[in-house]
């Protein structure tokens, strides 16, 4: 069964500084990887995904993530944090093969990002 | 483009009562998902539909939870009877389906959720 670990419950960063939210995964075969963001009282919103190809994926709102197969990681990054980036961030994984149990997207427990003015 | 609609937004019930949640996905989205999100955890898939057929319900507690998507559009999730541990936010999501069931590479669009409190 696949799993996702987000080792930090909370990340604090000063506005204008670079931010990183960590994610490691476990899955059979090659992964499909996703980042979602959840703002207070709002549903989850898609940020970016890795399916295949370039290991550096660019997404919405200036976010990017780097897929590292050897370290089974998919860390979310942004060069310069904004106060409006403060939210709950979820990493998710599913296997790339088709078959029983492969369609399920498994989420991590989330990391709360606080950007301090 | 209208997003995923869910109702009600909040529900408080006593244990052993029944409750139902409704979801209307984005128009044209063939795949619909119901997730349970317990406080402090990530969403956990309960059931996934492709049109009106069930793709995955392996984590649905079938002794008390049921879901249907009769016409391949909107969906209802029911809990009967509810337990204290069912207190959570129930999220509905939808996505396009490309290449049949391999459409799982498409991003999911989530509704605002229904916050259920079981007393």
- Tell me the two tokens of residue A84: 């409006």
pLDDT tens profile B23-40 = 999 998 989 999 999 999
Question: Does residue B99 carry a pLDDT above 70?
Answer: no
For residues B9 and A32, what is the distance between their CA atoms, to the nearest angstrom?
Answer: 31
Q: Are A45 and A113 in contact (CB under 8 A)?
A: no
- pLDDT tens by residue, chain A, 117 residues: 889 999 999 999 999 999 999 999 999 888 999 999 999 878 899 999 999 889 999 999 999 999 999 999 999 999 999 999 999 999 999 887 766 656 788 999 999 999 999
The whole-number pLDDT of residue B100 equals 44
A3 reaches B (C-beta below 8 A): no
- Per the listing, tokens 């009769």 go with B70
B91 reaches A (C-beta below 8 A): yes
Q: Are A4 and A108 in contact (CB under 8 A)?
A: yes
For residues B20 and B53, what is the distance between their CA atoms, to the nearest angstrom?
Answer: 20
Closest-CA distance of chain A to residue B113, Å: 7
The whole-number pLDDT of residue B35 equals 97
B103 vs B70, more confident: B70
The whole-number pLDDT of residue B101 equals 46
The whole-number pLDDT of residue A52 equals 87
Q: Do B42 and A43 touch (CB under 8 A)?
A: no
Q: Which of A51, A98, A109 faces B42 most closely, judged by CB atoms?
A: A109
For residues B14 and A75, what is the distance between their CA atoms, to the nearest angstrom?
Answer: 42
| Mean pLDDT score, B60-70 | 94
Neighbours of A9 (CB within 10 A): 10
């Amino acid at each position: 069964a696949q799993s996702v670990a987000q080792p930090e419950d909370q990340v604090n960063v000063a506005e204008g500084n670079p931010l990183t939210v960590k994610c490691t995964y476990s899955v059979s075969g090659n992964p499909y990887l996703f980042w979602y963001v959840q703002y207070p009282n709002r549903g989850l919103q898609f940020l970016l995904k890795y399916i295949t190809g370039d290991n550096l994926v660019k997404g919405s709102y200036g976010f990017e993530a780097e897929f590292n197969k050897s370290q089974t990681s998919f860390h979310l990054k942004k060069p310069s944090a904004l106060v409006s980036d403060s939210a709950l961030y979820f990493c998710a994984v599913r296997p790339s093969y088709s078959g029983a149990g492969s369609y399920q997207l498994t989420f991590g427990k989330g990391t709360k990002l606080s950007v301090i003015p | 483009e209208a997003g995923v609609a869910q109702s009600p937004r909040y529900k408080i019930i006593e244990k052993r009562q029944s409750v139902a949640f409704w979801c209307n996905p984005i128009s044209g989205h063939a795949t619909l998902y119901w997730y349970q999100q317990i406080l402090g955890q990530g969403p956990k898939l309960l059931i996934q539909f492709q049109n009106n057929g069930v793709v995955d319900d392996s984590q649905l507690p079938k002794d008390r939870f049921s879901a249907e998507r009769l016409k391949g559009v909107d969906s209802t999730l029911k809990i009967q009877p509810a337990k204290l541990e069912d207190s959570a936010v129930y999220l509905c999501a939808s996505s396009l389906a490309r290449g049949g069931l391999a459409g799982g590479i498409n991003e999911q669009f989530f509704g605002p959720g229904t916050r259920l409190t079981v007393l």
